[in-house]
Structure 1
Amino acid sequence: MPYARKARDRGQVALEYLGFVPVLLLVALAGIQVGLIAYAAQQAGTAARAGARAASLEQSAQAACSNAVSDWLTVTCGAGGGGDEVTVTAVVRIPSVVPGWQFDPAEKTATMPLDRTGAERGTP
């Protein structure tokens, strides 16, 4: 029997697989994390545009920012500017799925002109 297995070789493949499972899990979690980073950046851009649109109409930028992002994300918006335009910066905290990995928040800015025509006519 040229291909007879020795009793001590049984289970070797299972042990090698178990040793490789943590590496596979880490790669999978890193892939999910990259997707979360991209999603948070996209949501920050959406929140900044919504906040700038609301602020240009003299409404609450923070409320518009919060309504524009997914409920499980945390967003803060700050409005500024002067003259004929308003600038809103949205900051979205990036959640971490890999223990020990921390990321700076995603930050996006949007600028829109103030809508003075509606205010002058007395319409919202």
Structure 2
Amino acid sequence: MPASAPADGSAGRPGRGGDRGQVAIEFVGMLPLILLLVAAVWEGVLIGYAFSLAGNAADEAARAGAVHGAAECDAAAKEHIGSAWSVRVSCGPAGNLYKAEVSLRVPVLVPGLDTGLRIDGHGGAAKEQE
């Protein structure tokens, strides 16, 4: 190291400290993009969860409807879906099958805020006699 260079290694940098605070400024600039990315990933998780809920609820509803009828079909569909989700259930016989359709509205970030996107789940079970 030349004799005229400062001991702190700041040779060639203008002023005192040069790049001090640069990381903080870059973080503040990137923070909105990071938050937007996290929100987009979370919304994707909610959409996937809605597919899972709708499919499972339709299967449960079809099984209950095949054995006990339409009243049990509706109750079974709503049993595992929280009250924050907007749900619509339709059940009925179709030949030798009992079919159920469950439709959920996908929330925006948290259940209760609606996007307007609907996810449908379909289920069917063979009719049974008690």
Shorter-chain TM band:
0.7 to 0.9
- Structure 2 equivalent of residue 88 of structure 1: 100
Match of 1:40 among 50, 67, 70: 50
Q: What is the TM-score of this pair, normalised by structure 1?
A: 0.79
Shift of 1:103: 5.3
Cα deviation digits, residues 60-85 of structure 1 (max 9, x gap): 22211110224432322101333321
Structure 2 CA distance for partners of 1:62 and 1:5, relative to 1, 3 Å: farther
In structure 1, C-alpha distance between the alignment counterparts of 2:33 and 2:82, rounded to whole Å = 31
Measured on the aligned residues, the alpha-carbon RMSD in Å equals 2.3
Q: Which of the two has greater helix per residue? A: 1
DSSP-derived class of the 1:94 partner: strand
Identify which range, 8-17 or 60-69, moves more after superposition: 8-17
Which of the two has higher C-alpha Rg?
A: 2
Q: Give the letter for the 2:123 counterpart.
A: A
Q: Structure 1 regions of 5+ residues with no counterpart?
A: 119-124
- Structure 1 equivalent of residue 59 of structure 2: 49
> Is the Cα–Cα contact under 8 Å of residues 41 and 108 in structure 1 kept in the other structure?
yes
Q: What is the TM-score of this pair, normalised by structure 2?
A: 0.75
Identity of aligned residues (%): 27
Residue correspondences, number: 115
Q: Which of the two has greater strand per residue? A: 2
Cα deviation digits, residues 5-28 of structure 1 (max 9, x gap): 525754332111101000011111
Q: Structure 2 regions of 5+ residues with no counterpart?
A: 1-5
- 1:111 matched to 2:120: no
